């Protein structure tokens, strides 16, 4: 169980990130906050592109921010959407999260609803490669 204050910080960070969403094509802002093993929190939002397929999801942006800061292990992630129901991350984002996490808690929330999942629930099986030794 994560401390209540940490959960609140994650939620606030994800909500704040969604306010920066660049989503003029879908009007579907998403905010994500990654809690790294270090205790630091990293945010991401979706960045759309006129060439739709180049769009970057909020979760992947948040993971990239964490990894860019030197993190290699993710302890939890919170994802905010201003929707009726919490929104489940796309499969690509789940795969990217799972590169740095094992069975972590995932909090999906809206303005007034929240649901906890585990990564194992949302992505029960995954593609893995053994990293090459350098």
Binding region for ligand THU (CB under 6 A): 23, 26, 28, 30, 46, 48, 55, 57-59, 89-90, 93
Nearest distance, CB of residue 132 and ligand THU, angstroms: 29
Residue 85 a catalytic site member: no
With vertex at residue 46, the alpha carbon angle to CA 40 and CA 52, rounded to the nearest 5 degrees, is 150
| Residues 34, 10: Cα–Cα separation, whole Å | 7
Specify the residue, 36 or 45, whose C-beta has the smaller distance to ligand THU.
45
Query: Residue 85 is encoded by which pair of tokens?
Result: 């129901």
Nearest distance, CB of residue 26 and ligand THU, angstroms: 4
Specify the residue, 38 or 121, whose C-beta has the smaller distance to ligand THU.
121
Alpha carbon distances (Å) from 106 to 55, 111, 131:
22, 16, 25
């Amino acid at each position: 169980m994560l401390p209540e204050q940490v959960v609140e910080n994650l939620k606030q960070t994800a909500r704040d990130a969604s306010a920066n969403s660049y989503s003029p094509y879908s009007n579907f802002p998403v905010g994500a906050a990654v809690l790294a093993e270090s205790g630091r929190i990293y945010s991401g939002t979706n960045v759309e592109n006129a060439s739709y397929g180049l769009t970057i999801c909020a979760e992947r942006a948040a993971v990239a921010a964490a990894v860019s800061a030197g993190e290699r292990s993710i302890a939890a992630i919170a994802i905010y959407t201003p929707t009726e129901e919490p929104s489940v991350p796309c499969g690509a984002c789940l795969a990217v999260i799972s590169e740095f996490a094992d069975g972590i808690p995932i909090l999906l929330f809206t303005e007034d609803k929240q649901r906890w999942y585990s990564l194992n629930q949302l992505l029960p099986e995954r593609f893995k490669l053994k990293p090459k030794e350098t």
